[in-house]
Amino acid sequence: MINLTRKMKLKFIVLLSIFCLSAVFEVRSQDLIGLLEQGEKPVTDYTSATFKTTRIVIGQSIEIPHQGDLLFLITHHFGALNSGYENLYGLKQATIRLGLEYGLTKWFGFGVGLNTYKNTWDGFVKAKILRQSTGAKKMPVTLDLFANTAIYTTKWENPDRPNYFTSRMTYTFELMVARKFGNALSLQVTGSMVHKNLVPTAADKNNIFTVGGGGRVKVSERVSINAEYYHLFADQVKSTKAYDSFSLGVDIETGGHIFQIFLTNSSGEIEQYFLTETAGKWSNGEIFLGFNISRIFTVYTPKHRSQ
C-alpha cells in the first residue's frame, strides 16, 4: 500500500466498491430466490414418452394413451418381399389390424382390434404398475402388465369333429419392464406367455413362453429408430415351423400422428400370432414391409394433467 499513489488507491477503492455492490445484488437476488423456494416440498417427476406410441415396432410398449385420449391405430403388413414380381414383392397382399385404444386413467388403458389374419377379434387391458420417476419418489423403471384375448373366426379346419367356441380363444399375458435412459435411448424387456385353448397336435404346448424386448434411439426430436426381437423357446411349437420375430423400424412423429414404417418377419399383428406363429425367416428374404399409423383424439381433458 505504501508504494501506491493516491490515484491508484482511489481506483482500487472504486473497483472494490463496484465489486461489493454487485456482490450485494447477487446476495439480494439469492436471498429472494431463497424465499421463493422456502417450504417447498420435493416433487416427484415422472418420466414421460419412454416410447412415442403404444407399440415399439409391432409389439406392445409400456406406453398407454394419455388419460382421456383415444388412439386409432392402423397396422398394415404387406406380403413377403421375396414373393417375386408377380406379387409386386408383397405389395399385392396384406394383413391389416384396425384398432382402438383408450386411456381410462393415467395408469390403465384398454383396447380392441379387428385383424384380417384369421379374421381375429381381439381385446386387451394394460396397466402401469410402476412408473419411472425421479425426485421425491425414485423409481428406476416402468413396469406394465398386459393381457389380451383373441378370438379367430375363420371356418373350422375339421368341421367333422365336435368344435367348441372356446377353441377359438387364445390369450397373451405379458410383463414389460422399460427404462428411458435420457432423451435419446429407451430399452424394454418383455416376458410373455401365450395360452391357446386348442393347438394342432398333442406335441404342441398350450402354454408358450417367449422372452424378448426392444428399444429406440432418437435420431432427432421427431424421428427414432426402433428394433424389437422375441425369442420363442424351443420344443413348444412342434407341428408348424415358427421362428423368432425380429422387426426394425423408424418412428416419425408429426403433431397428432405417429407413423411407424418397418420391416418384420411376422405377418400377424397381435402377440399370439407374431410370438408363436412367425413363419418368415429374415435370411430367406421372408420379410414383410409394414406400417403403423396412430392418430390421437382427445376425448376429454382431465382437470390436472401434470403428474
Q: Which of 33, 91, 136, 219 binds other proteins (CB under 8 A)?
A: 33
- Complex with other proteins: residue 200 or 256, whichever CB lies closer: 256
- State the nearest-atom distance from the C-beta of 254 to other proteins, in Å: 5
- State the nearest-atom distance from the C-beta of 60 to other proteins, in Å: 19
DSSP helix/strand/coil, 197: coil
**Dihedrals phi, psi of 210, to nearest 5 degrees:** -140, 155
Helix then strand then coil, in percent of the chain rounded to 5, is 20, 45, 35
- State the nearest-atom distance from the C-beta of 162 to other proteins, in Å: 49
Task: Give Cα 231 to chain centroid, integer Å.
Answer: 18
- The verdict on 3 binding other proteins (CB under 8 A) reads no
CB distance 94 to 289 below 8 Å: no
Residues contacting 302, CB < 8 A, separation 6+: 67, 68
- State the nearest-atom distance from the C-beta of 139 to other proteins, in Å: 16
Size of the site for other proteins (CB under 8 A): 35
- The verdict on 21 binding other proteins (CB under 8 A) reads yes
- The verdict on 92 binding other proteins (CB under 8 A) reads no
- State the nearest-atom distance from the C-beta of 268 to other proteins, in Å: 29
- State the nearest-atom distance from the C-beta of 144 to other proteins, in Å: 18
Q: Which of 4, 15, 49, 225 binds other proteins (CB under 8 A)?
A: 49
Residues 40-69 as b or e (16 or more Cβ within 10 Å = b): eeeeeebbeebbbbbbbbbbbbbbbbbbbb
CB distance 264 to 287 below 8 Å: yes
- The verdict on 9 binding other proteins (CB under 8 A) reads yes
Q: How many CB atoms lie within 10 A of CB 239?
A: 11
Give the x/- contact pattern for other proteins in 180-219, rule: CB under 8 A.
---x------------------------------------
- The verdict on 88 binding other proteins (CB under 8 A) reads no
Residue whose C-alpha is closest to residue 76's, from 246, 251, 243, 262: 262
The burial class, CB within 10 Å (0-12 / 13-18 / 19+), for 162 is exposed
Q: Which of 3, 5, 29, 166 binds other proteins (CB under 8 A)?
A: 29
- The verdict on 8 binding other proteins (CB under 8 A) reads no
- The verdict on 67 binding other proteins (CB under 8 A) reads yes
Task: Catalog residues that contact other proteins under the rule CB under 8 A.
Answer: 9-10, 13, 17, 20-21, 24, 28-29, 31-33, 35-36, 45, 48-49, 66-69, 183, 221-222, 253-256, 296, 298, 301, 304-307
